[in-house]
């Protein structure tokens, strides 16, 4: 029998009856947790439930606010609410906001049973759709400048858009002088700072309409116009924004630049894959080894951190086998050295995949994209056992 995971969010006194009735259900195995509203988001990230039931008797207004804010980060998470049921407008309002059910107080067994049946049906449907719907956050990172992080982030976004795997967002998280916009010759009108300032009223439509849509079919969110703007963003705000992006895009590819900052660490924490870029020379290799160890200490193991060897076959390169031995891990992808096509693309403000389609480097990006698509995302890894 499948286990369903449900969070009851709010005051104990509003939800005790629901808890009792859920325990009587015999047709499904249900794991329930009571969670106070302030810790709801953290618990949602930890537990990844199939349903949230809010208790709205005591303070309907603050519950409404909480629902709106949770919906931004967990757009597809079904939710229901327990309300005192005296005010029709309140009930209608919850349905308009997207509730799958509104349970009247005092809650009865039949109502809870109906809700669980609805949930099982929804869950089955989602599992069906989920087979071809992935959501992944990918970080492109290195602790050494000039190794090709931006080139890789840009061309990976292009490749994923070409492979038509849903909505793609290319995110520039190099808050001090990021240059993704220059690589693609797009005007950074709406930046990460604007997203943060408008976050309370932001929904997927507004976000999509605000972002630059590149002619090759992916969305771009450039870094703030003024470098110091990024300093005012807290880690908590960053995490919420990144979850919001994950809820709204199938793949988010972020150029993280070269430093461990509160922004990059917030993203690395949530990322499904970290592409750690190195080049085949001694300074870069030592740098990568130290970054790889730091990432390990931060808790990101080899299943998450993938080494990308860029500028492979460059004149005088260290043999890849030596690189693997030094890092004690295998290379996830090799991208060949191609200064001529890279320079030409940069000068045109176009992605190399658009200007040098048949090149060996373009093939390398194609293979990298295919590997990323083939990798299971976090959600699949942590799927609820049936
Ligand atoms: N595979 C490659 N072959 C040849 N040149 C490359 C390759 N990848 C990147 N380059 C070139 O190396 C330079 C640095 O690339 P890029 O800006 O992508 O690196 P970065 O790590 O983002 O640098 P920064 O420190 O400026 O952020 C650019 O001139 C780019 O065209
Ligand atoms: Mg860069």
Task: Give 4-52 pLDDT, tens digit per residue.
Answer: 899 999 988 879 999 999 998 887 788 999 999 999 988 898 888 999 9
> What is d(CA 332, CA 309) in angstroms, rounded to the nearest whole number?
8
Cα of 174 vs centre of ligand 1, distance in Å, is 15
Q: pTM of the prediction?
A: 0.70
Q: Distances from the Cα of 79 to the Cαs of 70, 75, 108, 199, 370, in angstroms?
A: 10, 10, 18, 21, 35
Which is more confidently placed, 151 or 62?
Answer: 151
Taking a 5 Å cut-off on Cβ, the residues next to ion ligand 2 are 149-150
**Which of 143, 145, 146, 339 has most ligand 1 atoms within 8 Å of CB, for mutation?**
146
Residue 315 CA neighbour count, 13 Å, CB half: 1
Q: What is the pLDDT of residues 281-318, one digit of tens each?
A: 999 999 999 999 999 999 898 889 999 999 999 999 99
Among 76-80, 91-95, 277-281, 324-328, name the one with the lowest average pLDDT: 91-95
- pLDDT of res. 129: 54
Nearest bound ligand to the CA of residue 335: 1
Can you name the residues that pair with 28 across neighbouring β-strands? Answer: none
Say if residue 227's pLDDT is above 80. Answer: no
In the chain, what percentage of residues exceed pLDDT 90? Answer: 53
Nearest bound ligand to the CA of residue 348: 1
Give the DSSP letter string of 67-101. HHHHHHH-TT--EEEEE----HHHHHHHHHTT-SE
Q: Which atom of ligand 1 is nearest to the CA of 343?
A: 31
* Ligand 1 close to Cβ of residue 362 (< 6 A): no
Nearest bound ligand to the CA of residue 277: 1
296: left (phi over 0), alpha (psi -120 to 50) or beta: alpha
* Closest Cα to atom 15 of ligand 1: 148
φ, ψ of residue 23 in degrees (nearest 5): -60, -25
* Ligand 1 close to Cβ of residue 151 (< 6 A): yes
């Amino acid at each position: 029998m499948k286990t369903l995971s449900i969070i009851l969010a709010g005051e104990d006194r509003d939800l005790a009856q629901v808890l009792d009735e859920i325990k009587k259900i015999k047709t499904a195995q249900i794991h329930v947790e009571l969670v106070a509203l302030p810790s709801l988001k953290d618990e949602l990230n930890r537990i990844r439930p199939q349903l949230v039931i809010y208790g709205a008797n005591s303070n309907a207004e603050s519950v409404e606010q909480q629902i709106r804010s949770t919906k931004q980060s967990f757009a597809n998470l079904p939710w229901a609410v327990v309300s005192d049921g005296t005010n029709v407008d309140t009930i209608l309002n919850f349905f308009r906001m997207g509730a799958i059910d509104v349970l009247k107080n005092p809650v009865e067994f039949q109502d809870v049973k109906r809700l669980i049946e609805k949930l099982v049906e929804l869950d089955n449907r989602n599992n069906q759709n989920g087979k071809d719907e992935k959501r992944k956050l990918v970080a492109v990172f290195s602790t050494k400048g000039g190794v090709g992080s931006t080139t890789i982030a840009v061309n990976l976004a292009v490749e994923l858009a070409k492979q038509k795997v849903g909505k793609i967002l290319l995110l520039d998280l190099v808050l001090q002088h990021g240059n993704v916009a220059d690589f693609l010759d797009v005007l950074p009108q709406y930046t990460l700072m604007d997203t943060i300032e408008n976050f309370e009223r932001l929904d997927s439509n507004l976000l999509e309409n605000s972002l630059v849509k590149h002619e090759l079919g992916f969305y771009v969110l450039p870094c703030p116009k003024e470098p110091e703007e990024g300093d005012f963003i807290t880690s908590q705000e960053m995490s919420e924004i990144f979850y919001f992006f994950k809820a709204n895009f199938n793949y988010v590819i972020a150029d993280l630049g070269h430093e461990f900052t509160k922004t990059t660490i917030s993203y690395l924490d949530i990322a499904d894959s970290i592409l750690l870029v190195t080049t085949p020379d001694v300074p870069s290799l030592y740098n990568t080894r130290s970054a790889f160890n730091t990432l390990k200490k931060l808790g990101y193991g080899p299943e998450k951190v993938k080494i990308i060897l860029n500028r492979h076959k460059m004149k005088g390169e260290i043999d890849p086998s030596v690189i693997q031995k030094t890092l004690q891990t295998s290379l996830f992808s090799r991208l060949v050295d191609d200064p001529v096509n890279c320079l030409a693309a940069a000068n045109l403000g176009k992605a190399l995949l658009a200007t040098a389609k048949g090149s060996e480097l373009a093939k390398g990006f194609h293979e990298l994209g295919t590997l990323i698509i083939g990798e299971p995302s976090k959600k699949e890894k942590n799927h609820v056992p049936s």
